[in-house]
Amino acid sequence: MRDTGGHPVRHAGQPRPVTEDDSERRLASAFAGGETWALEACYLRWSPLVFTLALRRLGEDADAQDVTQEVFLKAWRGRAGYDPDQRPLPAWLVGIARHTIADRMSSRTRDHRLHERITAVHEEPRDSGPADTVTDTLVVVDLLTRLEQPRREIVALAFLEGLTHAEVCARTGLPLGTVKSHIRRGLTQLRHHLGAGDDTP
Amino acid sequence: MTHPDLETLMAGVDHAPDEVLRHVAECPACREDLATLRRTRAAGDLLRREPGLSSLSAPPPEVWGAIQRELAGDDTVVPMPARPTRRRPWAWVAAAVVGAVLGSAITWAATQGSDSAHRATTSSALVPLGRNRTSGTISLTGSQPGAQLSLDVSELDPGPGFVEVWLLDARTGGMVSLGVLDGDHGSWALPPGLDLSAYDQVDVSREPYDGNPAHSQDSLARGRVP
């Protein structure tokens, strides 16, 4: 049985904590509510993720800067359509980023008159969905930078390196109970940050 | 319906036993967990092949300035510079600019403790507020007690008054003045007892010569203590 904090069975439809990071949740609500400080906070928090993602895809620093600007402007102006209860803020921003990058790539393609490639290039990021490993990787790295020790090390060893609980204990010198609890919380945080793999903004 | 324990699920990322697969086929919660585990493992594999992905780059400060200029035309003008008061939820602003926080490999990320950089200098970005263009780099050398904070700024608008540097406790609105910034570089010893986990924001303000030692609420730029 999975340890579900005293409940023998976790039901699929049962609400569960989306994240233990309440500050992030409050930021998402404030952003959706149009509180202006939230845009600055959101930018400080996630612009490196958006910028790096754009840089990785587009290769050009100037294009990545334009995309970063566009993503946060779109997010802010489109905040009425954002429901923090449905979607974590980082997953929403990453979705907007992927569409914006796709648009940029398709306009580049048009510029080069490679009409036959438009559809493929335009569709690529949408089709890649949850299998878009580069995006996932940057999202995970972004989360790792936020985690305090020892969770950061435990999450990296257990989820990225694929070590067993016992191996994580041996590597960190921490007791099994502590390791298990960090792994469980770490999984919740990873699930939250990666979102459902749906990139519709 | 018995859920496989997490370790069983984790062991099954590549080859799950049949009974786990049968369960996962019927259980959305475990299916989502397994999908997350697989995506994360794939991220780990990619990081091993491309260690360059393990660091994020912050966009240059001009991008934030451009966003603010753009929004100035909207009805929903962002009225920055923000005015620090006790009511403001500064905690959210305390979220960091990442910079190149992670090193070049997973193991690096995994083994770095928050106290591992004792004498090292770490840095973060100073981001302009409002229509200001002041930006720069915040550097922290050593750790408390005895840490030293320095700033290198550019495009500090010439204007009336003088420029003062503060540390801000986002949760309480508490502020500690570090001193005056004269020119584009300054360095200050931090008060030895100051808790940098609370005072985790650097604020640069323009201050009038009015004899009032309090913050003028005219912030030019802000960033996180590295």
The span from the CA of A79 to the CA of B115, in Å, is: 38
C-beta of residue A193 within 8 angstroms of C-beta of residue A139: yes
Task: Kindly give, in sequence order, each residue whose CB lies less than 8 Å from that of residue A62, ignoring residues fewer than 6 positions away.
Answer: none
Residues of chain A neighbouring B67 (CB-CB closer than 8 A)? 39, 43, 69, 72-73
- pLDDT, tens digit (0-9, with 9 covering 90-100), for B193-211: 888 888 888 989 888 888 8
Residue B8 has pLDDT above 80, yes or no: yes
Q: What pLDDT does B56 receive?
A: 83
Q: What is the ipTM of this complex?
A: 0.77
Look at A95-99, B17-21, B115-119, B191-195 and tell me which has the smallest mean pLDDT: B115-119
Quick check: helix, strand or coil at residue B127?
strand
What is the percentage of chain B residues whose pLDDT exceeds 90?
11
Q: What pLDDT does B130 receive?
A: 67
DSSP code at position A158: I
- pLDDT, tens digit (0-9, with 9 covering 90-100), for B34-69: 999 999 999 988 888 887 788 888 888 888 888 888
Q: What pLDDT does B1 receive?
A: 56
CB atoms within 10 A of CB B139: 16
Please state, rounded to an integer, the average pLDDT across all residues of chain A.
78
DSSP code at position B81: S
Residue B14 has pLDDT above 80, yes or no: yes
Contact B76 A36 (CB under 8 A): yes
pTM value surpassing 0.80: no
- The residue among B19, B36, B104, B106 with the most chain A CBs within 10 A of its CB, best to mutate, is B36
From the CA of B139, how many Å to the nearest CA of chain A?
17
C-beta of residue B105 within 8 angstroms of C-beta of residue B47: yes
Q: Is the peptide bond before B81 cis (omega within 30 degrees of 0)?
A: yes
C-beta of residue B81 within 8 angstroms of C-beta of residue B130: yes
Q: What pLDDT does A122 receive?
A: 44
Residue among B28, B57, B95 minimizing CB distance to A12: B28
Q: What pLDDT does A87 receive?
A: 83
- The residue among A57, A159, A188 with the most chain B CBs within 10 A of its CB, best to mutate, is A159
Q: Does the beta carbon of B28 lie under 8 angstroms from any beta carbon of chain A?
A: yes
Q: Does the beta carbon of B53 lie under 8 angstroms from any beta carbon of chain A?
A: yes
How buried is B79 (Cβ within 10 angstroms: 0-12 exposed, 13-18 middle, 19+ buried)? exposed
Residue B179 has pLDDT above 80, yes or no: yes
Residue A99 has pLDDT above 50, yes or no: yes
The span from the CA of A19 to the CA of B142, in Å, is: 32
Q: What pLDDT does A49 receive?
A: 92
Q: How confident is the model at residue A169 (pLDDT cuts 50, 70, 90)?
A: very high
Helix or strand (DSSP H, E) at B169: strand B162-169
From the CA of A116, how many Å to the nearest CA of chain B?
30
Q: What pLDDT does B114 receive?
A: 37
Q: Does the beta carbon of B33 lie under 8 angstroms from any beta carbon of chain A?
A: yes
Q: Does the beta carbon of B72 lie under 8 angstroms from any beta carbon of chain A?
A: no
C-beta of residue B216 within 8 angstroms of C-beta of residue B208: yes
Q: How confident is the model at residue B116 (pLDDT cuts 50, 70, 90)?
A: very low
- The residue among B56, B90, B171, B225 with the most chain A CBs within 10 A of its CB, best to mutate, is B56
Q: How confident is the model at residue B166 (pLDDT cuts 50, 70, 90)?
A: very high
Q: Which residue has the higher pLDDT, B112 or A99?
A: A99
What is the percentage of chain A residues whose pLDDT exceeds 70?
75
C-beta of residue B197 within 8 angstroms of C-beta of residue B226: no
| Nearest residue to A152 via CA among A134, A136, A174 | A174
Contact B109 A144 (CB under 8 A): yes
Quick check: helix, strand or coil at residue A19?
coil
Residue among A43, A148, A160 minimizing CB distance to B106: A160
Residue A116 has pLDDT above 60, yes or no: no
Q: What pLDDT does B81 receive?
A: 36
List the 100-139 stretch of B: residues with Cβ below 8 A of A. Answer: 101-102, 106-107, 109-114, 127, 129
Please state, rounded to an integer, the average pLDDT across all residues of chain B.
74
- The residue among A134, A141, A153 with the most chain B CBs within 10 A of its CB, best to mutate, is A141
Q: What pLDDT does A111 receive?
A: 63
The span from the CA of B22 to the CA of B95, in Å, is: 42
Residues of chain A neighbouring B96 (CB-CB closer than 8 A)? 44-45, 145-146
Contact A45 B99 (CB under 8 A): no
Q: Does the beta carbon of A157 lie under 8 angstroms from any beta carbon of chain B?
A: yes
B148 φ/ψ sector (left φ>0, alpha ψ -120 to 50, else beta):
beta
Q: How confident is the model at residue B74 (pLDDT cuts 50, 70, 90)?
A: low
Q: What pLDDT does B80 receive?
A: 39
Q: How confident is the model at residue B136 (pLDDT cuts 50, 70, 90)?
A: confident
- pLDDT, tens digit (0-9, with 9 covering 90-100), for A24-33: 777 888 899 8
